[in-house]
Structure 1
Amino acid sequence: MTSERRRAPGEPPVKQASLFDEAGAVVVASPAEDVSAASAHDADGEARAYAVDPAHNVVLEASAGTGKTSVLVSRYVNLLKAGVDPANILAITFTRKAAAEMRERILGELRTAAERSAFDKARWAELRDRLGEIAISTIDAFCLSLLREFPLEADVDPGFDLADDTDVPRLMRSALDRTLRTLVALARTDADVELVLAQLGIARTRQGLAALLSRRLVAVEALDRFVDRGPRELTAAGVCRQAAYALREAIVPAGGSLASFLADGPAGHPRYELFLREVEALNRVEDSPEAALRGTIERVAAHFLTKEGTARKAGAIPPYAAEHYPPGAAARRHRDALFETAPRVEEAMFVFHRDLNVVLARGIRRMFAVARTQYRQALEERSVLDFSDVLERALGLLRRMDEFSQSRFRLESRYQHVLVDEFQDTSRAQWELVSLLIQAWGEGQGVAASPSIFIVGDRKQSIYRFRDAEVAVLQQASRYIDGLRPGSRARRSIARSFRAVPELQHFVNDLFAEVSQPGRRADDFTYEERDKFPVEAAAAAMDEGPALGVAVADSPEACAAAVADEIARLLQETTVRDKSTGVRRQARPGDIGILFRSRSSHREFERELGARGIPTYVYKGLGFFDADEIKDLTALLRFLADPSSSLRAAAFLRSRIVRLSDTALALLSPDLSAALLSDADPPGLDALDPEDRAVLLQVRGHLPVWLERIDRVTPAELLDQILSDAAYPFELGGSRRRQAWENVKKMRGLVRRIQNRGYATVRRIAAHLLSLSAGDESNAVIEALDAVNLMTVHASKGLEFPVVFVVNL
């Protein structure tokens, strides 16, 4: 286990200049002018100057901590300074939080400018009453606004709603129910669909189709691309026959006979007898059903291949031992022959799986088409769109804009300057949307006289492939934007960090240079000379103590304890530079971030920090349904949904709502439901210790009232009553008290929202919460909480902490 920490920077590097000089004029009016005194003549400074000038189209690569947001804000303000109407500027980022922060920075810069210059004061007076038009939008919000404005052109109901996170799972389940009924019937006449259902089964097919629906904007193209690469005449039966013939030839040893090879085998083991029957079945290919032949091929190949599907090369052949072989040298001869033939078997199986996957993909494509139709119908029946649908419909709208000349004119005359932040997180569909907006600029048909586009991103920070982001889109966009103005070169890069200390920059340069993969696929990670932080130019003073550290332990628990000890030491001994004031102060828990690779590994760290009295906050993507208080409420709702279940009764009794001991559960078992609900005293009651007995009698007294009210009040009201009767808030103690109570409030709000969307019964709410528990529901957000932040690497995107631990590497 390894942990790394980044300490707060020492003296800050050379301060960036204000957007405006003392006279109120824009500091950067052309690439030749300075951005700051330190960057007057270097390439980094020239790139910044070029990027903030609205006269240029720009594709800016900006490494972490280089001030890319400042560059974007500068460019936006320069547009306003130049007299551009804010309604003609489209600025897009990828989170609502980032959009709000960027807007505040723009307004702050405008106010600062107005204080320094009479000219800017006049411009500020013009804009002050139109601040609502200074809008920074997310890509989803922008697409939604397009559909709201042009519903008929986009072929959507003008009164459509956006499906929320309670609608989408319900609608998808309904669509998949109908889809699977259709597919089961279709499998009787479609061999490809029948193969998929036979290979995956109903449950896995359902999971796969749900995953494809959630990524349907890329799934269709990916399936088409895969299927089109394969031979169209392939069938499952034909693939199996060809594989059986190839396998039958592959297992014959060179210079030997199949009969001798088999005779030397471990005939003393029953499993080998089954293997011999399977080999014999390879001689009856024409008479074997396709499904049976497919199983035969896999079982014969398993004798020659490892569990990973690679050829056996040496050692024993499990599960056989020496006593299973004939006496003498038979075992050695059998193994030598097997190791000689195994590579040919591996090759035959590779071809078999490759061709069979083409047939499977063809069937999946057909099944996915049915699922898409059913899901689209489910959305249309309720006049709602989900986020993927919003983007898909917006794309369709812009693709067809030539059919609607008046609407196209409105769009082109409105959006004359486009700025896109965090471009490395952009999918191909999102980039196509932007490119369609600016397409007319390159065709010479646009309304604007001097339109411009600015995109900024860092391909090294592209970590959202699972959300369809493609780092290669950045290169594609650069070539496209260059083509808008022939002869220009839009691409620029900045690498000087204003955030990290020199040691950390050196470490990143060395590490990333080692893992760089130049010359491979376009989306592989590369770290070139232009990407390296120019550490020699850093003017930061050294912080006290080392800037990097490593903690090694033998188990997750020991690693968590070591990290917690180090955090406790830092809080006692270390100072950091305050981000807002620049003054050094004692480190606080909120200055520290712990980053995880996955959602499943934070509990040990939360426990160890809590044991040391250090507060923690589990950030989005980690732990809401894993939190103890949410497990308590879930156990309560699931029990109320089915009081006859002893399994659910056990979870309820062990929750902190009741807090019965394990010893008491054992004495009351196995019929725990009856122990709660029967009129007679449950067996084992007298054997309970006094505290367990008192608790059980108390909850038995409350249960009839709670169960009677299930059909009389809403689930949210019932939940509130039970928490009050059980005095549950008193259970939420310790360093997590505030976070735990906020999570309880969030759960109560979630129940209310679900019941308001039509899930009116406790049983349906409990089932829906169970389905949500597999997702990435975040803990309730607590503003200004001074606590150590626990989060995944993905969730940390865009955040800054003076001290960082990267754990469980």
Structure 2
Amino acid sequence: MTERARAAYEHNGHPVSREAFYAIACDPTRSVAVEACAGAGKTWMLVSRMLRALLDGCAPHEILAITFTKKAAGEMRQRLQEWLEQFSHKPLDELTVELIARGISPQGSLEKREALQNLYRHLLEAGRPVQIRTFHSWFAALLGTAPLALLQQQGLPAHFELLEDDAEAVREVWPPFLQTVAESASLRADYEAVVARHGRSQTHKALAAALAKRVEFDLADAAGVVDASVPPFQLAYPDLAAFAEPAEALQTEACLQRWRSRASALGSEANKTPQKAADAIIDALACADVNQRLDMLRKAMFVAKEDRLSKNLEKFPAAQEAEPELQRLLVARRQHEAWQHQQRMARLARGLIAQFVVVKQQHGWVDMNDVERTALVMLADPVLSGWVQERLDARIRHLLVDEFQDTNPLQWQALHAWLSGYAGSGGGSAAPSVFIVGDPKQSIYRFRRAEPQVFIAAQAFVRDG
């Protein structure tokens, strides 16, 4: 659902009436992804689906509603409780109106209104309530059912304290990490090189960002993505592959001969500008440090801070010939510097994340990243996922996720793995209906790794799956 000038309500891109929209959104037999702005009645739709599922004979504990905060879960629980209590006292005619508003046909409303009136009592008698939970509490419940071997495989203690806020652990990791850096010659060299170029504050800020995304970093690292994300200059410039860094090309006899010839040609010009450039080239070629040599050639030929010939050299053939070669070496060096920085930061990030694991193990802590990652492993495994459901003693028939735009990629991967498993079940296990609602423009939990693109992926899954 989007607020557009041409239509307030849409279904698969086509305008529909308000009544038709809510009839689709509230139907528990359909899987639906609703994009709705603030004030559009998202919670109303979500709780209405719960009501209709219960009226269709679903047991309360077979409904799982997930949201992101304890406050939101409490509000949802309260809304359901208040409606059930109110409906238990309302006259049947008013209940007919309530049911029609939730997408049930007039005839169907007449048939179900007495059931709605009695629903409050039936739920009290059921003993087990509708599952309205936060993502973290549901994942934590899954972790509580995990086999000991899986916990060991994930590096988690059998007896742990769950950290809903990892700020204390993050504070504790820095002193031992910096001590490790100081004691390791290679890590110290990486750290000093990055700090020298970008400053201590920016270096620590970048490492803190990697720590916050540690699960994604580890998964990407295991897949080889981290090391491959910035290619070395040799891939783009295979003719420079023999050199450890691009500026070393300036040491070859052929290259030295080209630059001496250019210096000679520029020095023979009557104008002082090319003569000065020729003298600067000779000085550069005498420099032993190849990177300093490249900098001196750049200064001799190019506009300050730009990779192009200075205006006063543009008309001289020797300078014109030198320009593309010099530009190429400068671009290759920038690529090499980017690769070096990325490799250094990756090594430092690995060290920081590894130290974070040690700190948590020392305290017996498990954080929400551990919970989400273990949940993904459990739900993605066809054997474990069935075992999880058996241990939880609940078959989920209806899954509802509120404020879906605040879902992070790992949470969605876990849900996706679980729901996708039904496709290969051979019909032995019925997939739950899925209802997700949110507004991708309103993600407020980016600091929790929420990614609005996940909403778009989930919409496609619901539509196509």
TM-score, structure 1 as length reference: 0.44
Report the CA distance shift for 1:357/1:87 in structure 2 as closer, same or farther (over 3 A).
same
For residues 751-790 of structure 1, the aligned pairs below 5 Å read none
SS of corresponding position for 2:437: strand
**Do the aligned residues in 2 keep the contact of 1:305 with 1:346 (CA within 8 Å)?**
no
Q: Which amino acid aligns with 1:283?
A: L
Partner of 2:135: 139
Q: Deviations over 1:374-424 (max 9, x none)?
A: 211111111002232322232233334625853353358433321112222
Name the counterpart of 2:157: 157
Contact residue 267 and residue 279 of structure 2 kept, 8 A: no
Aligned-partner SS, 2:43: helix
Is contact 1:311–1:339 with CA below 8 Å preserved after alignment?
Answer: no
Asked whether the equivalents of residues 93 and 421 of structure 1 are also in contact (C-alpha less than 8 Å), the reply is yes
SS of equivalent residue, structure 1 residue 66: coil
Deviation at 1:56, TM superposition (A): 0.8
Q: Distance in 2 between matches of 1:249 and 1:470?
A: 55
- Please tell me the residue identity of whatever aligns with 1:154: L
Once the two structures are superposed, residues 633-684 of structure 1 have per-residue CA deviations (whole angstroms, 9 ceiling, x without a partner) of xxxxxxxxxxxxxxxxxxxxxxxxxxxxxxxxxxxxxxxxxxxxxxxxxxxx
Q: 1:255 to 1:477 in 2, by over 3 A?
A: farther
Q: Secondary structure at the match of 1:90?
A: strand
User: 1:464 deviation in Å?
Assistant: 5.4
Pair 1:451 & 2:457 matched: no
Residue 202 to residue 113, structure 1, CA distance change in 2 (3 Å): same
Task: Using structure 2 for the length normalisation, give the TM-score.
Answer: 0.71
Change (3 A) 1:450 1:208: closer
Q: Could you say if the C-alpha distance between residues 433 and 265 of structure 1 is closer, same or farther in structure 2, counting changes exceeding 3 Å?
A: same
What does the per-residue CA deviation read over 1:132-183, in whole Å, with 9 as the maximum and x for residues that have no partner? 7334322222222222333624343343113345522332214422441354
What's the CA shift for 1:433?
1.2
- 1:168 aligns to what? 169
Equivalent position of 1:349 in the other structure: 330
| Whole-angstrom CA distance in 1 between matches of 2:268 and 2:219 | 50
Give the Cα separation in 2 of the matches to 1:242 and 1:143: 54
Bigger mean CA deviation after superposition, 157-166 or 84-93: 157-166
Amino acid at match of 1:239: E
* Inter-partner Cα distance in structure 1 for 2:161 and 2:272: 71
The aligned counterpart of 1:69 is 43
1:333 maps onto 2:312 in alignment? yes
Cα distance change, pair 442–344 in 1 and its aligned pair in 2 (3 A): same
* Paired AA for residue 157 in structure 2: D
Q: Measured at CA, do residues 58 and 333 of structure 1 come closer, stay the same or move farther in structure 2, by a change above 3 Å?
A: same
Residue type matched to 1:147 in 2? L
Counterpart contact for 2:166–2:367, Cα < 8 Å? no
Which amino acid counterpart does residue 77 of structure 1 have in structure 2? Answer: L
Q: Tell me how far 1:482 sits from its aligned partner.
A: 4.2
Deviation at 1:69, TM superposition (A): 2.5
Quick one: distance in 2 between partners of 1:305 and 1:106? 70
* Structure 2: gaps of 5 or more residues: 1-7, 93-113, 236-240
Q: Is the 8 A contact 2:250 2:256 kept in 1?
A: yes
Aligned length: 413
- For 1:376, the equivalent position in structure 2 comes to 357
Look up the SS of the partner of 1:142 in the other structure: helix
- 1:477-626 to structure 2, matched below 5 A, reads 477-484=458-465
CA deviations over 1:474-495 (Å, ceiling 9, x no partner): 33323333454xxxxxxxxxxx
CA distance in 2 between partners of 1:110 and 1:195 (Å): 64
Structure that is richer in helix per residue: 2
Partner of residue 239, structure 1: 245
Once residues 219 and 106 of structure 1 are traced to their aligned partners in structure 2, the CA distance between those partners, rounded to angstroms, is 40
Partner of 2:387: 406
Distance 1:450 1:339, change over 3 A: same
Verify: 1:100 aligned to 2:74, yes or no.
yes
Q: Distance in 1 between matches of 2:258 and 2:434?
A: 60
Aligned to 1:112: 86
2:456 to 472, 475, 478: 475
> Which position in structure 2 is the counterpart of 1:264?
273
Corresponding residue for residue 283 of structure 1: 285
* Identity among equivalent pairs (%): 27
Alpha-carbon distance between aligned partners in 2 of 1:142 and 1:78, rounded to the nearest angstrom: 23
Q: 1:139 to 1:406 in 2, by over 3 A?
A: closer
- 2:88–2:120 CA contact under 8 A, matched in 1: yes
Partner AA of 1:431 in structure 2:
W
Q: Does the residue aligned with 1:63 lie in a helix, a strand or coil?
A: coil
Whether the 8 Å contact between 2:62 and 2:398 is mirrored in structure 1 is yes
Are residues 409 and 149 of structure 1, via their aligned partners in 2, closer, same or farther at CA, if it must alter by over 3 Å? closer
Counterpart Cα distance in 2 of 1:429 and 1:281: 57
Provide Cα deviations, 1:535-560, integer angstroms capped at 9, x if missing partner: xxxxxxxxxxxxxxxxxxxxxxxxxx
Distance 1:366 1:202 in 2: 16
**Higher RCO structure, 1 or 2 (CA under 8 Å, sep 6+):** 2
Q: Distance in 1 between matches of 2:233 and 2:313?
A: 40
> Given the superposition, is the C-alpha separation of residues 248 and 422 from structure 1 closer, same or farther in structure 2, using an over 3 Å criterion?
farther
Letter in 2 for 1:436: A
Quote how far apart the aligned CAs of 1:186 are.
5.0
Aligned to 2:121: 125
SS at match of 2:312: helix
Contact residue 419 and residue 431 of structure 2 kept, 8 A: no
| Code of the aligned partner of 2:273 | D
- TM-aligned CA distance change 1:227 to 1:126, over 3 Å: same
Contact 2:247 2:294 in 1 (8 A): no
Return closer, same or farther for 1:124/1:463 CA change in 2, 3 Å cut-off: closer
- Check the 8 A contact 1:61/1:458 in 2, yes or no: yes
* Structure 1 counterpart SS, 2:58: coil
Equivalent of 1:85 in 34, 56, 59? 59
- Identify the residue that residue 108 of structure 2 maps to in structure 1: none
Instruction: State the Cα distance separating 1:432 from its structure 2 match.
Output: 0.5
CA distance in structure 2 between the partners assigned to 1:380 and 1:282 by the alignment: 55
State the AA in 1 paired with 2:140.
Answer: L
Q: Measure, in 2, the Cα distance between the counterparts of 1:298 and 1:469.
A: 44
- Name the CA shift for 1:143/1:185 in 2 (closer, same or farther; >3 Å): same
Q: How far apart in 1 are the matches of 2:447 and 2:256?
A: 41
Residue 212 in 1 paired to residue 218 in 2? no
CA shift for structure 1 position 213: 0.9
2: distance between equivalents of 1:73 and 1:362?
Answer: 50
Shift of 1:438: 1.8
**Alpha carbons of structure 1 residues 233 and 297: separation in structure 2 relative to 1, 3 Å:** closer
Find the aligned partners of 1:464 and 1:49 in 2 and give their Cα distance. Answer: 31
Evaluate the alpha carbon distance shift between residue 369 and residue 90 of structure 1 in structure 2; reply closer, same or farther with a 3 A threshold: same
Where in structure 1 are there 5+ consecutive unaligned residues? 1-13, 17-30, 32-40, 318-331, 485-809
Q: State the Cα deviation string for residues 45-87 of structure 1 (Å, max 9, x = none).
A: 4333212111111122223433222222211222222222222
Distance 1:281 1:130 in 2: 90
Looking at structure 2, the residues matched to 75 and 253 of structure 1 have their Cα atoms a distance apart, in angstroms, of 81
Residues 127 and 475 of structure 1, relative CA distance in 2, 3 Å threshold: same
* SS in structure 2 at match of 1:162: strand
Which residue is 1:148 aligned to?
144
Taking structure 1 as reference, are residues 187 and 70 closer, same or farther at Cα in structure 2, changes over 3 Å only?
same
**What is the identity, as a one-letter code, of the residue corresponding to 1:180?**
V
